[in-house]
């Protein structure tokens, strides 16, 4: 058996075993992902432990699992912890309800999914998508509790908006790097990505609303997720609870309710803008902005504002209990998020991703599909949309003289392909499922995986049409 065939077989078997374990046995998802990573690495030809032969270091599968786990949590663990503590205070203080009430008054009853999708679309341009999911989850939960709408549909609409601009619109790292590698003006990339993303958002929101009705999950008075039966769902939706909430006068002021979320977003956006305009990074001013605009520091500031702005007169033990209650369920979220990164790192270190990319380049398919297919396969293997975009751009860059499409279309094809296959190797898949309480494998695939495929399919149709005009 050829080495490349063995590598691909290892990945296929690893994922198949994981699905069977999660769907048909009592094995926890965390353990199933670990087993999948081991199978993928061992069959893919990785040694058990890292070895050095003739001055060359070959990463072992055990070391790759540990490294991938640590790298993933290094970028998401602290953010998740700070975000859920801040979210707990927003919920307990009534600030989340105030935001929900103001939000509904602004967009009108019944338009919450559309408004959250657009909110995510805008927010994710300066803010990392996973961070924004954590920060805005309390808003989705509050809207669900006030309106009786499924938090699944609301949260998924938000996530889709976040995903689209994170993958398609600079200055987020993926599309910005693709533009640089393929020699495209950043302004053109921003315009092209934004235009391409709008039809995807229009197509996906109705699906989010539909799946929200199918997986009907709301939030009770204690902030816990519950799934009422059909009769209770009708009762929730038909009560006068929404009108009562819209006229409440016992909630915190809007400005202090929004400050823990808005200020971190502004700080992160400020750093992003300064990076984009090319300010001298050696100045003291930039150093201060870089510090305050890092997601960890920005969220920490938001958390402190929530503590001292929303619950200043509460007893210290009571405030600490709020935060403790918020973080008590995040352990499993972090474990599964980290091990999802482990699987992606094993695939990368074993060389499976490179083999698949080289395979696609040789396929007899339309030129515009080559970057798309490479990026889609990289997303399957590695999980990270950013890495998928960069890998696809690097593999297609040498073909620029051979492919009969514009560099802009090549870059956009890389980005659209990276939207697809949001599943087990993607840390964002586990962050969203954990934050919105989706633990059933079938429902996880119906939510995050399905929307990624629908958006990518819509984008692919746009690319096939755009090749005749660009």
Predicted confidence (pLDDT) per residue in 15-73, tens digit = 788 778 876 787 877 888 789 889 988 988 888 887 776 667 777 889 888 988 888 77
pLDDT digits (tens, 9 = 90+) for 86-101: 877 877 787 866 776 7
C-beta of residue 403 within 8 angstroms of C-beta of residue 414: no
3-state secondary structure of 51: strand
pLDDT digits (tens, 9 = 90+) for 233-273: 555 554 555 566 566 677 788 888 888 878 887 887 788 77
Q: What is the average pLDDT score of the chain?
A: 80
Write down the pLDDT at residue 419.
92
- Report percent pLDDT > 70 for the chain: 84
pLDDT digits (tens, 9 = 90+) for 136-164: 888 888 888 878 889 999 999 999 998 99
Predicted TM-score (pTM) of this structure = 0.67
Is residue 174 over pLDDT 50?
yes
Cis status, amide bond into 171, omega within 30 of 0: yes
Q: How far is CA 260 from the centre of its chain?
A: 21
Write down the pLDDT at residue 317.
87
DSSP letters for 7-60: HHHHHHHHHHHHHHHHHHSS--HHHHHHHHHHHHHHHTT--SS-EEETTEEE--
Residue 343 and residue 337: Cα distance in Å, rounded? 10
| Residue with the two structure tokens 């399919």 | 457
C-beta of residue 257 within 8 angstroms of C-beta of residue 251: yes
C-beta of residue 161 within 8 angstroms of C-beta of residue 201: yes
Q: Where are the alpha helices (DSSP H) in 169-249?
A: 173-181, 186-214, 230-238, 241-246
Q: Are strands 51-53 and 56-58 parallel, antiparallel or unpaired?
A: antiparallel
Q: Where are the alpha helices (DSSP H) in 279-368?
A: 284-292, 295-310, 316-327, 330-350, 352-361
Write down the pLDDT at residue 118.
85
Write down the pLDDT at residue 53.
67
Residue 465 and residue 129: Cα distance in Å, rounded? 28
Write down the pLDDT at residue 124.
72
Residue 122 and residue 161: Cα distance in Å, rounded? 8
Write down the pLDDT at residue 244.
63
Residue 330 and residue 326: Cα distance in Å, rounded? 8
The domain locations on the chain are: 3-65, 71-329, 346-466
- Report percent pLDDT > 90 for the chain: 16
| Residue with the two structure tokens 């039809």 | 199
| Nearest of 334, 345, 296 to residue 73 by alpha carbon | 334
Tokens representing 46 are: 């990785």
23-27: long-range contacts (C-beta < 8 A, 24 or more apart)? Answer: 23/441, 23/442
Is residue 435 over pLDDT 60?
yes
Average pLDDT over residues 415-421: 90
23 burial via Cβ count (<10 Å: 0-12, 13-18, 19+): exposed
């Amino acid at each position: 058996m050829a080495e490349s065939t063995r590598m691909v077989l290892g990945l296929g078997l690893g994922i198949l075993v994981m699905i069977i374990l999660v769907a048909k046995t009592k094995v926890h998802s965390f353990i199933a992902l670990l087993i999948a990573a081991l199978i993928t690495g061992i069959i893919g030809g990785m040694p058990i432990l890292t070895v050095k032969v003739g001055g060359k270091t070959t990463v072992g599968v055990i070391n790759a699992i540990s490294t991938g786990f640590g790298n993933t949590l290094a970028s998401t663990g602290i953010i998740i912890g700070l975000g859920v503590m801040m979210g707990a205070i927003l919920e307990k203080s009534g600030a989340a309800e105030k935001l929900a009430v103001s939000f509904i008054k602004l967009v009108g009853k019944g338009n919450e999914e559309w408004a959250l999708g657009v909110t995510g679309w805008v927010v994710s341009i300066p803010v990392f998508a996973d961070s924004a999911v954590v920060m805005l989850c309390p808003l989705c939960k509050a809207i669900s509790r006030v309106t009786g709408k499924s938090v699944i549909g609301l949260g998924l609409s938000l996530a889709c908006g976040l995903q689209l601009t994170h993958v398609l619109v600079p200055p987020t790292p993926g599309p910005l790097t693709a533009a640089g590698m393929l020699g495209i003006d950043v302004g053109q990339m921003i315009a092209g990505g934004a235009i391409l993303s709008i039809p995807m958002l229009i197509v996906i929101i109705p699906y989010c609303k539909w799946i929200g009705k199918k997986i009907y999950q709301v939030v009770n008075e204690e902030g816990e997720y519950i799934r009422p039966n059909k009769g209770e769902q009708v009762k929730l939706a038909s009560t006068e609870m929404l009108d009562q909430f819209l006229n409440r006068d016992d909630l915190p002021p809007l400005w202090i309710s929004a400050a823990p979320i808005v200020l971190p977003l502004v700080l992160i956006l400020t750093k992003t803008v300064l990076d984009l305009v090319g300010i001298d990074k050696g100045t003291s001013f930039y150093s201060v902005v870089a510090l305050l605009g890092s997601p960890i520091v920005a969220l920490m500031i938001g958390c402190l504002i929530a503590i001292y702005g929303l619950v200043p007169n509460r007893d210290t033990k009571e405030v600490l209990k709020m935060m403790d209650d918020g973080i008590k369920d995040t352990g499993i979220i972090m474990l599964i998020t980290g091990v999802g990164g482990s699987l992606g790192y094993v695939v990368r270190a074993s060389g499976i991703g490179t083999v698949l990319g080289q395979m696609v380049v040789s396929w007899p398919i339309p030129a515009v599909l080559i970057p798309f297919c490479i990026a889609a396969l990289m997303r399957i293997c590695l999980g990270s949309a950013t890495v998928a975009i960069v890998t696809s751009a690097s593999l297609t860059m040498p073909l620029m003289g051979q492919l009969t499409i514009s560099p802009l279309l090549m870059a956009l094809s890389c980005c659209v392909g990276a939207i697809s296959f949001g599943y087990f190797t993607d840390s964002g898949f586990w962050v969203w499922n954990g934050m919105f309480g989706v633990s059933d494998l079938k429902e996880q695939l119906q939510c995050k995986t399905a929307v990624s495929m629908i958006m990518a399919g819509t984008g692919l149709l746009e690319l096939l049409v755009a090749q005749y005009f660009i």
